Structure 1
Amino acid sequence: MRTIETVAVVGAGYMGGGIAQSLADAGIRVTLVDASPDATVAAHARLLHEAATYEKQGLFREGAAARIEANLAIAETIEDAVRNVDFIEEAVPEIPDLKRELLTRISTTACTDAIIGTNTSTLPVHTLAPAVSNPARFLTVHFSNPAPFIPGIELVCGEKTDPAILPVVKDMIHRAGHQAAEVADTPGFVLNRLQYVLFKEACAIVEEGIATTEGVDTIVRSTFGFRLPFFGPFAIADMAGLDVYLNCFRTFEQAFGERLAAPDSLRALVEAGKFGTKSGEGFRGQMTPEQAQALVAYRNNAYGQMAKLLHELGPAPLPVPTEEARPQ
């Protein structure tokens, strides 16, 4: 299998810069470039300063600042940055025409077998792929901000993406200490489709006078959000009991109609007697009683450790909205 050893990151803002830090700390040689030479030089200096600060704070592992400085170079132009590298990550603002323009420049100059990734948050691959020569080497590699600290990455292939490049990209991601999941080529993918649905419902709750913005944030971070670093929605549902979920959906459907009716997949599992952890099978598959016991023990330890960490960190320094700033 090919191994990515050299990378160019096009776009040196907080998103692209964080990606560059992550890959350089993994020992990958990274070339960074921004809209102008001055912007690139300023970004490079910022990233080295941040790396030293994060290491002193214990947020980066020992030796990270030196590794990043040794592996992070800059280029004057996009063409200079991408000409002889194994992988290019485009990380410019979410403006389709800007991304298409840069992807054309990148693919015209890069090696014919160089893999090209875009860090788009919501744009489907098929809307950008026509800008890329040889789109078989093109895919979405979506990091989250701040990239050095958030491990998850969405990988999105287009119709013409060569599946053989996926393990090559996954290997690079794994070496950088990140985790990747393949998702389908639809607007918003998984991360932002879920995140924006939650945000829209949160806004509706505030607008309806059910709770304040502070109240919603408190409930989210201290209840179901407290579980999310460890478990996704399907694992959480299995542990809660799918029969319980189905009964709750009946209440939601009566109050809010079809948009909050029970999903067909949930109904099918409950009708088959598959209630999740307590019955030994659910959304995440089969589980022995011993595995269920181990899962509960892990869950309790994880939540206990999270509670300790949050207590040590203390409350986030968030502003309290004035009455004028509250949604009406």
Structure 2
Amino acid sequence: MSQLFPTVAVVGSGYMGGGIGQSLALAGHDVRLADVSARHAVAARDRLLAESDHFVAAGLFPAGSTDLLAERLTAVDSVDAAVDGADYVTEAVSEDREVKRESLQRIGAVARPDAVIGTNTSAMPIGELAAWVPGPQRFLGVHWWNPAPFVPGVELIPTPDTDEQVITAVEEMIIAAGKSPARVSDSPGFVGNRLQFALYREAALIVEEGLATPDQVDTVVNSTFGFRLGFFGPFAIADMAGLDVYAGAYQSLQRAYGDRLAAPSVLTDAIAVGRLGTKSGGGLLDIPADQLAALIEYRNTAYQRLSELRRELGPPPGLG
């Protein structure tokens, strides 16, 4: 098995699959695009090249990107033609269980025995999908985020059957494409969408209760805690704020909303042993004491620069 995966097949060349193909082609892979028909695959390639021209003109892609994509991206007549002989196959069809089953079974029937197969599902458990793939040791979830060329994170979701060498090889491919892979365990929604959809549900409840309008909720999120999430995850933010502060807030939330918003045990357990965050030398993260001043300076600089960037860009069109 080649860790470089020189030939990649993308099955499903819509905006998600097309963006993945674009990213891997720009990283030097030969990418074959396949869809429900040759016409769809050709249209996708044409769209990706036109997009690249626009991105180059806007300074989002480096000069020469379209020429590289024209050389590396190929639209093929069928899924079989794309998968046959490919080193790595990414399945990026619609989030429909039956469509996934048909696609993965077809891929598995044609792919080389040593070809690695990744699925780009957003929430379906990888272990369930693995049942449709011959050789589950070469199968894993590889969850990109839309738009794939610009969002850096990629979740890697192995099953207990996935070979460690396969995980490492895909991880290296993702890093070489300029992305930031995170290995996570297999569960519905994985990490990103479990969090994202939990936030959406709570936001919808706020609207349903008449506490705020959708645009007001969005303004609060993107200008407060969501503003900080571009640099820090929830545990780093909590450690800098103080876990005791969080515990106090949870008491108010629990009184109002019940156990749905009670303090999680991972928080109260940390407080019980004196781990309050950076103020006590450690919380749920172990941030070295000699790095704390530099961390706070980084935080303040990052927030100020992001504020400047937001002012420079202005409000999102249609959402100002």
Q: Same fold by TM (over 0.5)?
A: yes
How far the C-alpha of 1:2 sits from its partner, in A, is 2.8
Q: 3-state SS of the aligned residue for 2:154? A: strand
Partner of 2:314: 314
What residue ranges of structure 1 are gaps of 5+ in the alignment? 321-328
Map 1:193-212 → 2, pairs under 5 A? 193-212=194-213
Which residue of structure 2 aligns with residue 29 of structure 1? Answer: 30
- Is 2:297 aligned against 1:297? yes
* Distance in 2 between residues matched to 1:70 and 1:280, nearest whole Å: 53
Q: Does 1:81 align with 2:45?
A: no
Paired-residue identity, %? 50
How far has the Cα of 1:286 moved from its partner?
A: 4.0
Q: What is the Cα deviation at residue 318 of structure 1?
A: 2.6
Give the deviation of 1:66 after TM superposition. Answer: 1.8
TM-score with structure 1 length normalisation? Answer: 0.95
Separation in 2, partners of 1:272, 1:199:
33
Letter in 2 for 1:154: E
Separation in structure 2 between the aligned mates of residue 92 and residue 106 of structure 1, nearest angstrom: 12
Distance 1:168 1:3 in 2: 8
CA–CA distance in structure 2, aligned partners of residues 91 and 35 of structure 1: 12
Q: Which stretches in structure 2 are left out of the alignment for 5+ residues?
A: none
One-letter identity of the residue aligned with 2:55: Y
Indicate the residue corresponding to 2:117 in structure 1.
116
Per the TM alignment, residue 3 of structure 1 is displaced from its structure 2 partner at its CA by 2.3
- 1:285 match: 286
Distance 1:314 1:176 in 2: 30
Q: Which amino acid aligns with 2:197?
A: Y
Give the counterpart letter for 1:123 in structure 2: M
Separation in structure 1 between the aligned mates of residue 303 and residue 319 of structure 2, nearest angstrom: 27
Task: Return the letter of the residue paired with 1:109.
Answer: V
Which amino acid counterpart does residue 284 of structure 1 have in structure 2? L
Is the alpha carbon distance of 1:278 and 1:138 closer, same or farther for their aligned partners in structure 2, counting shifts above 3 Å? same
CA contact (8 A) 2:8 2:87 kept: yes
Whole-Å separation in 1 of the counterparts to 2:127 and 2:62: 38
The within-5 A match list for 1:95-134 is: 95-134=96-135
**Structure 1 residue aligned with 2:268:** 267
Moved more, 58-67 or 200-209: 58-67
Determine the C-alpha separation between the residues in 1 that align with 2:155 and 2:197: 16
8 A contact 2:80–2:110 mirrored in 1: yes
Letter in 2 for 1:300: N
Length-normalised TM-score, structure 2 = 0.97
AA of the residue aligned to 1:295: L
Local SS of the residue matching 2:33: strand
Alpha-carbon distance in structure 1 between the residues aligned to 2:101 and 2:142? 16
2-structure distance, mates of 1:181, 1:2: 18
- Cα offsets for 1:14-49 (capped at 9, x unmatched): 000000000011111111111101111111000001
The CA deviation string for residues 222-260 of structure 1, in whole angstroms up to 9 with x for no partner, is 000001111000011011111111111111111111111
Cα distance, 1:319 vs. partner? 5.5
Equivalent position amino acid for 2:284 in 1: F
Is 2:154 the counterpart of 1:153?
A: yes
Moved more, 278-287 or 131-140: 278-287
State the Cα deviation string for residues 120-167 of structure 1 (Å, max 9, x = none): 000001211111011110110000111001111111112321122111
Q: Is 2:239 aligned against 1:232? A: no
Distance 2:62 2:305 in 1: 21
Q: Extract structure 1 runs of 4+ deviating beyond 2 A.
A: none
The alignment partner of 2:164 has SS state of coil
For residue 84 of structure 1, give the secondary structure of its aligned residue in structure 2.
coil
Whichever residue aligns with residue 298 of structure 1, its letter is Y
What is residue 142 of structure 2 aligned with on the other side?
A: 141
Deviation at 1:63, TM superposition (A): 2.3
Aligned pair count? 319
CA contact (8 A) 2:34 2:77 kept: yes
Q: Amino acid of the residue matched to residue 228 of structure 2? A: R
Instruction: Name the stretch that deviates more: 57-66 or 219-228.
Output: 57-66
Secondary structure at 1:278's aligned position in 2?
helix
Q: Name the CA distance, whole Å, in 1 between partners of 2:310 and 2:82.
A: 42
Deviation at 1:67, TM superposition (A): 1.7
Are the counterparts in 1 of residues 3 and 172 from structure 2 also a CA contact under 8 Å? no
Residues in 2 aligned to 1:129 and 1:121: alpha-carbon distance in whole angstroms: 15
> Which residue type is aligned with residue 161 of structure 1?
T
Q: Structure 2: how far apart are the matches of 1:65 and 1:72?
A: 10
